[in-house]
Structure 1
Amino acid sequence: MRQRDREAGRGLGRMRRGLLYDSDEEDEERPARKRRQVERATEDGEEDEEMIESIENLEDLKGHSVREWVSMAGPRLEIHHRFKNFLRTHVDSHGHNVFKERISDMCKENRESLVVNYEDLAAREHVLAYFLPEAPAELLQIFDEAALEVVLAMYPKYDRITNHIHVRISHLPLVEELRSLR
């Protein structure tokens, strides 16, 4: 067995030597793996293509209304990612992570509402700020889902307290009647 191990390139450990750098076998498998992924994506239809498609230019509505656009899987996913990134990376003028502190305070008090200043959102993610008054119900739902993921990443057991996080927008320059938001 030792001779077989030596021939296979195994040393004292159980792994083959050079395993981290040996990519000959991986190179042979990659085209087949990619081909299978492409085949699966095309079999499932247009909805999956839309989901997989990267949305670099979220502003391009492609002839859809804002409500229709944010309801589609691709743009919805991009909005979700951008808002999560906003929550994770937004800092104030002193360099403090604003939402890390707000989420921490929210969780200490067992609350489920996270307040986001519209002006901060508009400064960092102007597209999301533009979409918000046009499709508030749809965007707030996406924001809630993204905020829940960020909270659970920071506090994994917070789902025992609540299963929902509600994003509240403050300093919104528009005045909407509550009935119109339903």
Structure 2
Amino acid sequence: MKIVIATDGLVKATHGDAQYISGVPGYAGCLVLTVPDGSAVEIGQAWSVSLTDAVAARVAEAAAACDAVLTPLAARFPIWETKTWDKQLAEAKALLADPTLADAPNPDSDDPEKRVDHIPTIRGITAVTREDVGQFAISVLANDETWTAIVSNVAGQRQVFVARLNDCTTVADVLAVPLAISLPDVGQP
């Protein structure tokens, strides 16, 4: 069960564990804590919060804020496609390092290296899209650079926030640290 603790230390609301309540406007400045199901909790009840629990709740809030800004970008792509991104990137780097990999494999070649397709993922995609494999490889690298810049920036914002929380000495200090996670202006992957 999740409980929402207002800045006055009173329980403001309770929610089931599965409910997504991060970013609810009425809970700004509150702590969201997880307590064992069946705990005796009443709205308006005083609830003592340790510094450790307050920091943990705010760290979870920051993680949820990161998810909230990054998930819409990632949701543009099906999960099965995103699982090929590492393979596409490795193949793109290999192809740009050795453009002869663009040549189709030759199963009859005496050279074993020429019988193997070193870029099967890129070749499979471009067979359908009809894009040039070299141009596709360049696009893969550009998309990777953009996505990395976006995620790295958001991760950096979260890490600065967590560092500020770790410097706090009271629960009130923890609540006073502002949280604002946003997307950087680096384009779209």
TM-score range, shorter chain: under 0.3
| Structure with larger RCO (C-alpha < 8 A, sep 6+) | 2
Larger radius of gyration: 2
Higher fraction of helix: 1
TM-score (norm 2): 0.19
TM-score (norm 1): 0.20
